[in-house]
Structure 1
Amino acid sequence: MLRFATAGSVDDGKSTLVGRLLHDSKSVLTDQLEAVTHASRDRGQDTPDLALLTDGLRAEREQGITIDVAYRYFATPRRRFILADTPGHVQYTRNMVTGASTADLAIVLVDARHGVVEQTLRHAAVAALLRVPHVVLAVNKMDLVGYGQREFDRIVADFAERAGGPRPPRFTPVPVSALLGDNVVERSAHMDWYRGPTLLDLLETVPVGAGAADAPVRFPVQYVIRHGDSRYYAGQLASGTLRVGDRVTVHPSGTTSEITAIDALGTPVAAAHAPQSVSVRLADQRDVARGDMLTSGVDVPALTQEVRGAVCHLTDRPLRVGDRVLVRHTTRTVKGIVQDLGGAAELTANDLGRIALRTSRPLALDAYAVSRCTGAFLLIDPADGATLTAGMVDL
C-alpha cells in the first residue's frame, strides 16, 4: 500500500493529473466516466474533464477549484494506493497538512509556463516539515511550452535551489502533460530526451515502510480486554517487533513485565511487526490502561510534561498563549496549557509556527524526525472537542 498526496498552486492541474492517472490506469468505473462525460458536455466541453473525477463537491465543480481533500482508492497489478488530492490555495494549507500527514510520497505540481512560485515552495516546506519520505516534482503542461527540455531543466534547477531551506528535499522530477497523458501512465512520444520513469512507474516502485519493523518498539494501548482472569492489551504496533518472552516497560508508570502471549486477528502468534494491530498478555497483573505505552529494549521515549514542536493551526479559532487545551498523543489525552508560540501573539487558520506546551501528566514522546506516529500530537478544544492544531515534536 502506498499513500500519496498531490499539492500545487492554483490551476497547476492537480485534479486533472489525478483524473488522468485514474483513467489511464483503468481505475475508473464505466458509470463514473459516463457521469463525468455528461457533466463536461453540460459545461460546453467536447471531451471529458478528468478533473471532475476528484472534484466531488458541488462548490468545487462550480468554482473550478479543489477545496476539500479528496481521497481515492485504486490499484494496479503491482500495488494498491490511497491518494489524497489536496487544495492549492494558501488558505487551504491546513487541508494539505491533513492529506500529507500520513503520506509516503508527495507529488508537487508546477505549471511549466509559470515555474516555481511561492505556493510551490510552501508545499515543499510542508512536505519537509511532515517528513514525507519521497517527493516527486511533476512539471505539468509541458505541451504548452513545446515539450522543451530547456524549460524543464530550468524549473528543476530553480526548485532545487529555492526549496532548500534547513532540510533540502530529495526529489524526483518528471515532465508531464496531465491533459494529454504524457508521462503519467504511458511514456510520452513528444519528449524522447526524458529517459526517466513515468509517474505511475515511480508510484509502483518507490519503497514503502522500510525499517518500521526494525525501529524501537512503541505499542500504544488502545483497549483493555478482559477474558476470564486474564487481561489483554490491544492496539496498533506503531513501530518495532514484539515477541513472546520480551521484557517490556509500561509508560508512564515505569513498571516492567514479560509478554506471555500475542494474538493477531484472534490467532496466537510468536511475534508481531509494525504496523500490525494485535493484543498482548503480560505475565503480571499490571495497572495498564488506555493511553499507556509499552516499549522494549534500551531505546525508550522521552517521558516529559514539556512539549515543544512545529505546528500548523487548523481552525478559524485563534490559538493564544495561555489557552488551555487537550493534548492528544497516540491513544493518550491529557490537559495542557500553551506557554509560548515562538514569539507570536497568536496563530490563526493555516499558520505554520512553533509551540511550547506544559501538560498535566507526562507523555512518552519521540522526535517527529524519528517517528511520525509517536512524534505527532493534536491540540483539542476542551469545550467542544474541535481539533485546533496539528503538531510535530522536537526533542
Structure 2
Amino acid sequence: MADKDKDEQEKTIAEDLVAIKKYMMAGKISNCVIQGVIAQCVAGASVRDLCSLGDMLLLEETVKVFKKEKDMKKGIAFPTCLSVNNCVCSFSPLASDTDVQLKDGDVVKIDLGAHVDGFIASVAHTVVVGSSPSTKIAGRKADILLAAHYASEAAFRLMKHGTENQAVTNVVQTIAESFKCKPITGMLSHQLKQFETNGGKTIIQNPNENQRKEHEKSTFQLHEVYAIDVLISSGEGMTKGMDSRATVYKKTNETYVLKNKASNALFIEVNSKCGTMPFCLRNLEDEEKACVGVRECVSHKLLEPFPVLFEKPNEIVARFKFTVLLTPNGPQKITGLPFDPTAFQTDNSIIDEKVKKLITSSTRSKPNKKKPATTEVKKVSQSDHLISSRKPNFFDLAVMLN
C-alpha cells in the first residue's frame, strides 16, 4: 500500500473537515464491532472464532463507507485480539494454534481498531464472562476493573493542550495504587497520525527506573490524536512471554532483499492489503505459508511482532482503550464503551481529593470569545463544536456521517 503520497501535506483535524469525518466513521465502526464481539463473549465461546468474527465485521463495515472513492484504503487498523485473565495483550490465535474456550468468570480484554483512509480509531474493553446486572462483581476483579475505568476517565480529562504526558503517567499510577493494583509496566499509549499507529509522542505506564529516564517527555498540542491505553494488573504489573507465539505483526521501514519465496509472497501481500497497519497472519491468503514466510521477514526486521504477554498465573488484568481528538472545545472521545461502576463492589476507593475532582470535572474547555479571522477558520470551529460540545452517542455519530 502506498499509504499516502509523501509529497502531499499531512492531513490533520486542524483544517481538514474530511479528516474529522473519517475519524468519526472509523470510531463508529470500531465501537459497533467491539459491541458485536462482546455480545458473543459467553461461556463455551471460542477465542479464535471471536477474533475472526471481529475482523470480519471490521472489513464488512469499512467497505460500506466512501464507496465512490475506489482507491481509498479502509479496513483493519488493528486485528481483533481477546486476552483472557492473566494474558495481557495481543492474543489472536491461528487455526494451527491451541484455541481457548471462555468460561464463566473469565476476565476478557477485547482489542481492535478500524481505519478509514488511514485515520485510525482504536478501542479496547474488558468484560467478565457470565456476569449479570443483578449480581455485583466483587474482589480483585472489581478492583482492577474500577482502577482501569477511573484511570481512563482521569487520563481522558488530562488530554488537553499544554498538559505534559507525565501527568497521565502519574494519575494512572495513583489511581491503580488506590485499588491496591499496579499498571502494566512499560506499556505505551501512542499518538496517531494518518496511516501511523505510532505517530511520535507516547505516554508510558508504570515505568521502571531506566524507562523513566529514557522516555521522552512531551506536551499535548491542539488537534493531535491519541489512542489512550490503560492496563491494570492485580499483581506486580510485570509481564513475560510464554508459549503463545506472536500472530500479529506490523511492517517497519527497514529494507532487505528476501531470499525465501514464501517470505516474498507474504511481504508483497502485506504491502498490498495492510500497508503500515498491524495485521494477523490468520487474515492472509495462505496462513500456513505465511507462518513460514514471516520468520525471514522478522529476522531481517521487515516485520515487527506484537508479542503475546502474560502476568503471573492467577493474576488478572483489565484494559480500557479509547481514541481521543484534541479539539478547541476539549478532548473528544470517538471510541470507548459505557461502563457502570455501580456494578462492582470493593472496599477500596480513590483517596486523593485532587484526583477525585479531576474524574468528575468537565471535559469542556472554556470557549474562545475571539472572533475567527477568516470564514475558513470559522468552519473548522463549527465542526469542532459539533464533535466536542457533548458526549457522542450513536445518534450523534449517525448525524455526523449522513
- TM-score tier by shorter-chain length is under 0.3
TM-score w.r.t. structure 1 length? 0.24
Q: Based on CA coordinates, which of the two structures has the bigger radius of gyration?
A: 1
Which of the pair has the greater relative contact order for Cα pairs under 8 Å at 6+ separation? 2
Q: Which has the higher helix share?
A: 2
